[in-house]
Structure 1
Amino acid sequence: MRVCHGIIEIAGQMGILSGEMKRRGHLAAGFNTFHSYLGYKEHLINTNGYDLRSTAPHIMNFFDVFHFHYASSLLPDYADLPVISAKGKKMFMHHWGNDVRFHEKARENNPFVYTGDSPSNEVMDTRLTKISRYVEEAIVQDYEVLPYVEPYYETVHVVPIAIDIGKFQPHYPLPDKKRPLILHAPTNPKFKGTEFIEAAIENLRNTHDFDYRRIEKMSHAQVIDLYREADLIVDQVLCGSHGLLSVESMALGKPVIAFIRPDLVARFPKDLPIINANPDDVEEKIRMVLDSPGLREKKGRLGRAYAKRVHAKEAVTDQLIRLYKS
C-alpha cells in the first residue's frame, strides 16, 4: 500500500503514522509545508507550497491512499481533490480541532472554550463544503471535534492521537518527594487557559511548597526531556478535551490535569485517568494532587497503561489500515 500524508504536520502525527506504515512494509510519506519550532522531521518530506505544486502530478499518480490533515491538500483551493477522485483513489480528511471549531457551536456545551485560533464560520464552511464534494470520509481525534464535521461527510471516524510509546520510558512521581514539580506547556496560552492555571498556581504558593515551570518555544525533543522530571502536568482547561501533551505525559507515567466536557466523559474509554478540571475548579484539583503523593504515583501508572493501550502507534495504525482497505 502506498499512503500519502499531507500537508500540515499536526502534533507529529504524519511522521509517526508514516513511520509505522513503513515498518510494516508499506510505502508512506508525509509531505509537510508547516514548519515550526517543534522541529518535527522523522518520516517527513519537509517542503513548501511551490515545490509541492510542481510534484503534485507525480504524487497523485503514485500513491494509492491520500490522508490529508487540517483541512489541507496538495494544491491551492483543493484543485487536486477532483483529480484524485477521478482516479478512483481513496481519500480521507483528518480534522484536528481549530481548523473546524465553529465558534457558536463550540459554546453550546462549553462556556469556557476559546475559539480565537479558528477561522471565521464562513471560511470553515466554504472549506468543508469544497472538501466534502470529493472526500467522503473524515477522521477526527475525539468526540469533541466530531460534531463540527459530521454534517459534511458521509462517514466520520474517531481515531485517537498516536504516539511512539517506545520513545517514552516512564518516570513515575516519587511519593516521598518533598517539593513536587508542576509543568505546563502552552503552545497557545489563550487556548490552553494558561491565565487560569497560573492564577491557581500563584494562590497555592501561599499554602504549598512546590516548583512550577512554564515551557514554551522549545523543540519537541527538548520538552520531552523536561516532562520526565515533572510530578504533575497541567495540559488544557478550556477546550473540553485533552491534547497531545496529555497523551505524552501519561506515556511518561505522569498524572495529568485537563478539562473533559461533562457531556463527553462517557465517550472516552472508562479508564481514562486524566484528572478533570476547568477554570472554576483547577486550583482545587491541583491542591488535591499536591496533597496526595500516592495519588500522583497511582495516576501516573494508570496513565502509562492507558497511553500504551489506546494511543500507541501500533494500535492506531491498525485502525487506519482497516479504514484504508475498507
Structure 2
Amino acid sequence: MKILQLPSGSDISLLTKALRSLGAEATSCSFSSADPYSYLADVRLRLNEYPAEQRKILLQTYFKKAAATYDVFHYHFGKTFFSDASDLKILKESGKKLIVHHRGSEVRKLSVARKNNPYVKVKTKWTEEKIAKQLKRLSTYVDYAIVCDHELKPYIEPYYKKIYVVPRVIDRNKYISAYPQPVGNPVVVHAPTHNEIKGTAHVLAAVERLKKEGWTFQFKLIEGLPHRKALEEYRNATIVIDQLCIGAYANLSMEAMALGKPVICYIRDDLQSKYPGNLPIVNANPDTIYERLKWLLGRPEQWRRLGIRGRRYVRNYHNQDKVAKQLMAIYEKI
C-alpha cells in the first residue's frame, strides 16, 4: 500500500515516518514553502515561489505522477490538489482510497460551537457559507474523514459517511523533559497563533491583575518566532497557558506537556470524559483564568507533579507509532 500525505503541517511528515516504520510505503508532500514545517516533508513543491501559470503546470505534473503512484491519498486541513476538487473526482474514478483529515478552523461553525461553548471564537475568513461549501465539495467524492478530537466531530457529521477520531501526534523523542523547579521566579508563557481565538486579552488581564496584587513572576507572550525558538521558550517556562475559548487542547498543550510543563487550557465540560485517561490540564476559561493561574502560581509543589503527568499522558496517547497503527487500520477498511 502506497500512501501520500499532503499538503501542509508537521503531522504529514511525522505520520509518514511512523507509517514507514510499520512497513508502509508512505510519502509526505508540502505544497508551499510558506508552511513553517515544509522543510520536514519528503517532497517540497514550493508552489508559492513560482508565477501562477507555472505553479499550475507544476501542480498538474505532480498530480499525474502521484495518481499513477499512490493507492491512498490522505488530505490534511481539507486542502486538495485543485480548488474545484477535480483531483478527487479523478482519483475516486480510478479506485483510489481517499480520506480527509480536518483539524480546526476549516470546519468550526460558530452556530454549532455556540451550543456548548459561550466563549468560542472563530476565524472570520471561515464563514459558515464557505465551510459548508467546502465540506459539500469534499464529501461529494470522499466518504471518510478524520478529526483530531470530539470537539470537531459535530461540524462534519452531516457530510461524511464515516468519521474517525484520531489523536494528534507528537514526536516523543524530540522533547526532553524540563520539569519546573518549585523555587525562583516562575515564568508564565502564552503563545497564541490567533489572539482572539486563544483568548489572549483575558490572559493579559489576569496577568496584570496578579502583578498588581503583588504576585512575583515573569510573563512572556510568544509571537512570531520560528518554531524551534518558540520551543526553547516553552522549555524555559514554568507554566504554559494555551487557549481559553475553543474548549479543546491542541499542539501547544501537547508540546508543553511533552516538555514536562503544567498547562492551563479550556476543556469544555461535555468533552472532558471523551479524552482517554486522566487529562492533567488545569482547566480555565475567560471567566476563571485569573483564579486558576493564581491557584497554580501559589502551588509550586504541583508544578513538577503536573509536568510528570502531562509528559506521561502525551507519550501514552499522542504517540506517533500508536496513531500510525490506527491509520493503517483505517486505510485497510476504507
TM-score range, shorter chain: over 0.9
Match for residue 216 of structure 2 among 178, 187, 209: 209
2:192 corresponding residue in structure 1: 186
Partner of 2:318: 311
8 Å contact from structure 1 (residues 72, 78) kept in 2: no
Change (3 A) 1:34 1:144: farther
Distance 1:88 1:278 in 2: 46
Structure 2: segments with no counterpart, 5+ residues: 48-54
Q: 1:198 to 1:37 in 2, by over 3 A?
A: farther
Q: Indicate whether 1:126 and 2:133 are aligned.
A: yes
Note the alpha carbon deviations across 1:241-279, whole angstroms, 9 max, x for none: 011000111011000000011111111124110111000
Q: Secondary structure at the match of 1:208?
A: coil
Q: What does residue range 71-110 of structure 1 map to in structure 2 within 5 Å?
A: 71-110=78-117
The C-alpha deviation readout for 1:263-304, integer Å capped at 9, x for no partner, is 111111241101110000001111111000111111100000
| Residue pairs, 1:40-59, within 5 angstroms | 40-47=38-45, 48=47, 50=56, 51-59=58-66
RMSD between superposed Cα atoms in Å:
1.4
CA distance in 2, matches of 1:203, 1:159: 39
User: d(CA) in 1 for partners of 2:277 and 2:19?
Assistant: 29
Inter-partner Cα distance in structure 1 for 2:38 and 2:131: 26
- The residue aligned with 2:153 is 146
Residue 156 (structure 1) aligns with = 163
1:277 is aligned to 284
Aligned residue for 1:33? 31
Per the TM alignment, residue 196 of structure 1 is displaced from its structure 2 partner at its CA by 0.5
Q: Which amino acid aligns with 1:84?
A: L
Of 187, 197, 202, the match for 1:196: 202
Query: How far apart are the structure 2 equivalents of 1:256 and 1:40?
Result: 28
How far does the alpha carbon of each residue in 1:120-147 deviate from its partner, in whole angstroms, 9 at most, with x for none? 2111111111111111110000011000
SS in 1 for 2:92: helix
Distance 1:37 1:134 in 2: 26
Counterparts of residues 10-25 of structure 1 (less than 5 Å): 10=9, 12-25=10-23
Deviations 1:155-187, CA, capped at 9 Å, x for gaps: 100001101000001111112x22100111111
Deviation at 1:213, TM superposition (A): 0.6
Match of 1:229 in 2: 236
Partner SS, residue 40 of structure 2: coil
Q: Tell me what 1:298 maps to.
A: 305
Q: Deviations over 1:203-238 (max 9, x none)?
A: 111221111111111121111122111110000000
Contact preservation (8 Å) 1:132, 1:153: yes
Q: CA deviation at 1:28?
A: 1.8
Between the two proteins, the alignment pairs up a number of residues equal to 323
Match for 2:145: what amino acid?
A
Shift of 1:202: 0.9
Q: Which has the higher mean CA deviation after the structures are superposed, 190-199 or 263-272?
A: 263-272
Is 1:257 matched with 2:264? yes
Distance 1:155 1:39 in 2: 29
Q: Normalising to structure 1: TM-score of the pair?
A: 0.95
Tell me if structure 2 keeps the 8 A contact 1:38–1:218: no
1:40 positional shift: 4.1
**1:101 and 1:118 in contact (8 A); partners too:** no
3-state SS of paired residue (2:286):
coil
Unaligned runs of 5+ residues in structure 1 are none
Equivalence for 1:5? 5
**Structure 2 matches for 1:159-178, cutoff 5 A?**
159-175=166-182, 177-178=183-184
- Cα pair distance change 1:118/1:271, threshold 3 Å: farther
Taking structure 2 as the reference length, the TM-score comes to: 0.93
Percent identical residues? 34
Q: What is the CA-CA distance between 1:108 and the residue it aligns to?
A: 1.2
- Residues 262 and 118 of structure 1: CA distance in aligned 2, closer, same or farther (over 3 Å): farther
In the aligned structure 2, how far is the partner of 1:142 from the partner of 1:18?
20
After TM superposition, which residue ranges in structure 1, 4 or more long, deviate above 6 angstroms? none
Structure-2 change in CA distance of 1:187 and 1:44 (3 Å): farther
Q: Secondary structure at the match of 1:29?
A: strand
Query: d(CA) in 2 for partners of 1:258 and 1:107?
Result: 18
- How big is the shift at 1:308? 0.1
SS at match of 1:263: helix
SS, match of residue 68 in structure 1: strand
